[in-house]
Every structure is written in C-alpha cells, then in structure tokens.
Structure 1
Amino acid sequence: MGGKYGAIAEGASFRASSRERRSRAAIRRAHTRDASASSDRRPESLPLYPNRSTPRRSGRGWRVKLATISRLAVFAAATATSSWGQSPTAAAQTVVASTAKRAKVPFGAGERMEYDVKFGALRVGNAHMEVVALDNLRGRPAWHTAFWVQGGNFLYRVNDVYESWMDAETLSSLRFVQELEEGGKDVERRFEIYPERAIFIQTSKKPQKEEKSVSQPLDDGSFLYFLRTIPLVVGETYDFDRYFRPDRNPVRIRVLRKERIKVPAGTFDAIVVQPIIKTKGIFSENGRAEVWLSDDERHIMLQLKSRLKFGSLNLYLKSYFQSPNS
C-alpha cells in the first residue's frame, strides 16, 4: 500500500468531552469486571497541525445532518434474563480469554482509527473506532469494540457512543449498546443477544421480553469488523442474513471496484464496497453509500461517502494505530 499509517494529519490528538470521558470510564469499569488477558495500550497520536474552526450552521436541516453522521459512521466505522449474566472471577476470565479458540481476524486489542467528519467540504466533527479489549462475556471471550462520533456547533451537538461485543470464536454479536446525546437529548439502548437461542432482549426497555433473532447475529457496530474478515472480489455481491433484527435482512454488500485514494492519513490502494440494508436511510439502495477499505488483508476503513438529498456526508481516515498484538 502506498500510504504510511499514523498520526500525520491535523488535530490528530483526540480531546475527550465530558460525555466521552464518562463513557470511557464506563468502558474501563466494564473491562475491569469482564477482564481479559489483553491490556495493551496504543501509542498516543500527536497533533501536527492546529484544528480548524467548526463552521456555524443553524436550522433543522443541520440537526438532521449531524444525527445522520452518527448513523452513517457506526455501520461503516463504517449496523433470557432481566439482567446481564454474572461474570466469573478475573482469574477464570483470563483462562477463558487466553485458551479458547478464536477466529482468525485482521485486528486486535488496541487497534484504533480516527476520522474527520465532513458535510460536503465543511469539517463538522470527529469520529473514531477502536478495539477496546478482548473481554469475557457470559463465559466467552469477546471482542469489545467501540465507536464515537462527535460534532456540531453552539446550536446543536452530537456526541454518540456505540459499543459491540462479539464472540471471538464465531464473531456473533453478544451485546450491543448505544448511548446517544443529540441536541441535548440522551437516549440509551442496550441489547443482550443470545446466538445459541436465536433471541435478543432489549434490556433498556420495559417490559423486557425475548424477541426473535438469528443464529449468527451481527449488530451495527460488529458488521464492519465481520466484513473485514471475508475475501472481497470485485463484481461480486454478498448477501448476509445475519443482522440481529431479522426483518432487516438480508444485508447486501456489493464489491464495486478498486482504486487508489488520498486521505489525510496518506495515499492507499482501496477496494470499494456498497452496503445495502432494508432501511429508508443512508444504506438503502437509493442511498448510494460507498465504503473504501484498504486493499490488503486488514481491510481498514479508509473513507466513507454517502449522497443524500441535502448533500454528502463523508468520513476520512486521518490516523491509524495498529494493535500491539498484530
């Protein structure tokens, strides 16, 4: 590949908001509770250029755009009991995480990608996605991934966090959490997913009830990581009946072409895919969203573009940190 991954673009140092710091604290507490053998830390990104000021916009259209950025990025990024199962002791967790069979994947704990978010030519925010750790969840080793998107102006801001836990052996989704802060309103959704029973429970909703799922479920956040594990052949179309809400299946992936692109992180050979999901939004067949993945075994998301009625929403990779274990 032609580019050098690393912190080489403007504003590469991520400054956490108070909401993000709270979310990170929650993640770390969960990691302590569901600890694994992995404790690697990524190197810090260094700011090489000053941040540009965020342009001022107003009106309902601006609010819609910012909320849509979050939905867009998370899919790409870039879609039995009333409480979560009790975790075993830390020692038992370490044994499970270190000895259980794992699927071969091109990522590991500590991998992190950081993006500029733009509406047309205007920079409106930041996003980053990260493999937080190899956790233990209900006695299974599970990849814990997280996606943050932040942006807005003095009138309207978005600060969303999406977390996924997927079985390290089957890559099936086990838990999916959304914490959305948009325009001063907070929404939290939590799902416990049970692949062996093909059900899910929305634990943040009352009354809690079992709902039908699929046998190898994926959620919004875990789908892109799954996509990174499969071969992609130009001209092929792949259908997956794996979204954890069955009425939204199949998810279709069209492999469109290969091309060389330039993003803030560098110049890279890329393979371009079009995800299509049963929705009226960005990933509908008329949404024409495209995702650029690195044309190598890692399939890192380099760029994401969508064409909507009110303009284009785009993500551009500005820095990449490889897992210390890769």
Structure 2
Amino acid sequence: MHTRLLLILIAGLWLPLSAAAEKPALWFPVGEKMTFAVSWGPWTVGYSTVWTEWIEEDGRELLAIRVRSRSTSFLDKIFPVDDFLESVVDPVTFLPLRFYKQLSEGRYRLREVTTFDHHKQRAYWQHLLRDSQEDFEIQADTRDLLSFMFFMRSQEWEEHKCYYFQVMADEKLYDLHVIVDDYEELQLPQFGKVRSLKMQPQAAFHGLFVRVGRLQVWVSDDERCLLTAGLASLPFPIGTIRVMLKDVEGPGDDFWVKLPAAKR
C-alpha cells in the first residue's frame, strides 16, 4: 500500500515536469540562422544575421530572437554600424516579454529595453543610457518588430490584398499596412531562382522602416516563409538600399540547408 502511494506521488510529481519540459511546436525551426547582405550601389556595406534559440529565465523555457547588424570595412571608414536587437518571447502565446535594442551608428548610441505586461495591457520602456523611462498602453496582442516579423511567417497571405496590424516600436504603437502584390521569381546568388511573394509594408519605425521613401520585401513561397530580399528607396543622397538572403544554417533537411557547401 505504501509502495503504491509512493509510486503515485512520484508519477504526480514527474508528469507535470515532463509536460513542462516539452517545447511547443512552432512554424520555424528554432536554431535557424539567416545571414543577409546589405548593398548600396555596387558595394556591400553590411551584413545582418538573424537567429533564434531557446533560453531559460526563472525556470521558464523562452524563445530568443536576435539580430546583429554590422557594417563592412568599406562603410566603417565613414559610418560604422554595430546594432543588436533581441526579443524574448513566450513560445506558447508568441507574445514578447522583453525587447532590447542597442544601436551604434556613426556617433549615435542607443540602449533601451521594453518589458510587456499583456494582462495589464501596459508596456514599460527604459532608456539605459539616459536613465529615463515611461510606460504606455498596448493591445492584448501587441508585438515588437522582431516577434512580429516571425509571427508574420505563420500567416497566410493572398495576392492583391491589404492587411492591417499594430506594432510596437520607438516606445509607441504604430499602424502597419502590408500591401501584398504578386509572386515573382527571384534570382539569389547562393540559391538560384526562388519563388517569392512581393509585399509593401507601410509604416514609420526608427531603424527599420522609413517615413519617406518606399520599402518592398519578398518572402519565399514555402513552409519557412523566409525573407529573401528587400529594397528600400530613400531620399537623396542615400538612394536605394538592397538586402538579399545570403545563407541559411541550423536544423532542417530542406532546400535551404541542403545547399552544397561549395555554393555557400
């Protein structure tokens, strides 16, 4: 009798722990790492690396989405860039818990963090260099830029339609309209022709989208829904900035990671 009770107790303790250890299935492989080349005219001026990984905080398994953008030696001479963004996400709800931004662009420096309380529908922003802070109202499903970009990969898009969202950036909520155009065949140097859906996001986010000019992005027509290319037309004297997917690493056995090493 005592042995049976002991076994039941052990099972009761073990089962919740086992269930908690199971990570939710997502629409992209965690551990995925993507590298993008950033070009201005004939020059490659920088590279951006986007990757995901599991982290543990206060006994919780969370998802970290990170971006590191650095200028090449060509641009370093006139305008060095070294930016880092991180979104820590609850993988069950796919809502952000914390968004961290650190920018180093020329002489400009910024370090800030935003924490989210979706139950109270409040976000708390802090400028870490000036020690200033404020809080503001959010929606029940408000996301920062990074978590929103990965959330978009789970959505189904139809050609010639316009979609509306709200996204948190620069300690504010912004309206974001995504105009969906047509499918196109993009020629990627490392991957060949990739069928991609053309979209035009319209918003005004510091460090990503621009208030003046035009932004176009292309997303692969497959299960991963990867950003394959981007094109930003900015006012003089900057002109056109191009972003192109250069490499994909991490788990999986699909076209993206099976690419022969000689082509990488």
TM-score normalised by length of structure 2: 0.77
- Give deviations 1:162-203, integer Å, cap 9, x for gaps: 111122112111111111112244321111111122111123
**Structure label with greater radius of gyration:** 2
Greater relative contact order (CA < 8 Å, ≥ 6 in sequence): 1
1:140 Cα offset (Å): 4.7
Q: Say if 2:212 and 2:235, in contact at 8 Å, map to a contact too.
A: no
Instruction: Name the residue aligned to 1:228.
Output: 153
The answer to whether the aligner puts 1:307 opposite 2:229 as a matched pair is no
Instruction: Name the residue aligned to 1:218.
Output: 143
Q: Say if 1:110 and 1:324, in contact at 8 Å, map to a contact too.
A: no
1:322 Cα offset (Å): 3.8
Counterpart-to-counterpart distance in 2, 1:261 and 1:144: 30
**Alignment gaps of 5+ in structure 1:** 1-93
Q: 1:121–1:320: structure 2 CA closer, same or farther, 3 Å change rule? A: same
User: Residues 142-291 of structure 1: matches in 2 within 5 Å?
Assistant: 142-151=62-71, 152-205=75-128, 206-243=131-168, 248-266=173-191, 267-278=193-204, 283=209, 287-291=213-217
- Give deviations 1:60-84, integer Å, cap 9, x for gaps: xxxxxxxxxxxxxxxxxxxxxxxxx
Counterpart-to-counterpart distance in 2, 1:169 and 1:163: 18
Of 126, 136, 150, the residue aligned with 2:47 is 126
- Aligned partner of residue 243 in structure 1, secondary structure: strand
Q: Identical aligned pairs, as a percentage?
A: 23
- Aligned partner of residue 223 in structure 1, secondary structure: helix
Counterpart-to-counterpart distance in 2, 1:185 and 1:247: 21
Q: 1:96–1:288: structure 2 CA closer, same or farther, 3 Å change rule? A: farther
Instruction: Name the residue aligned to 2:259.
Output: none
The structure with more strand, counted as a fraction of residues: 2
- Give deviations 1:246-267, integer Å, cap 9, x for gaps: 8543211111110110122222
- Aligned partner of residue 187 in structure 1, secondary structure: strand
Counterpart-to-counterpart distance in 2, 1:236 and 1:285: 22
1:95 Cα offset (Å): 5.9
* Equivalences, count: 230
1:309 Cα offset (Å): 1.3
- Aligned partner of residue 221 in structure 1, secondary structure: helix
- Give deviations 1:71-130, integer Å, cap 9, x for gaps: xxxxxxxxxxxxxxxxxxxxxxx8686336x3x532232101111110122211111111
- Give deviations 1:205-264, integer Å, cap 9, x for gaps: 535443222211211222210110100111111111343678543211111110110122
Q: Say if 2:170 and 2:206, in contact at 8 Å, map to a contact too.
A: no
Partner amino acid for 1:316?
M
Q: Say if 1:109 and 1:324, in contact at 8 Å, map to a contact too.
A: no
Counterpart-to-counterpart distance in 2, 1:273 and 1:305: 11
Partner amino acid for 2:231?
K
Query: What is the alpha-carbon root mean square deviation over aligned residues?
Result: 2.7
Counterpart-to-counterpart distance in 1, 2:223 and 2:62: 21
**Alignment gaps of 5+ in structure 2:** 1-16, 255-264
Counterpart-to-counterpart distance in 1, 2:137 and 2:248: 37
Q: Say if 1:248 and 1:278, in contact at 8 Å, map to a contact too.
A: no
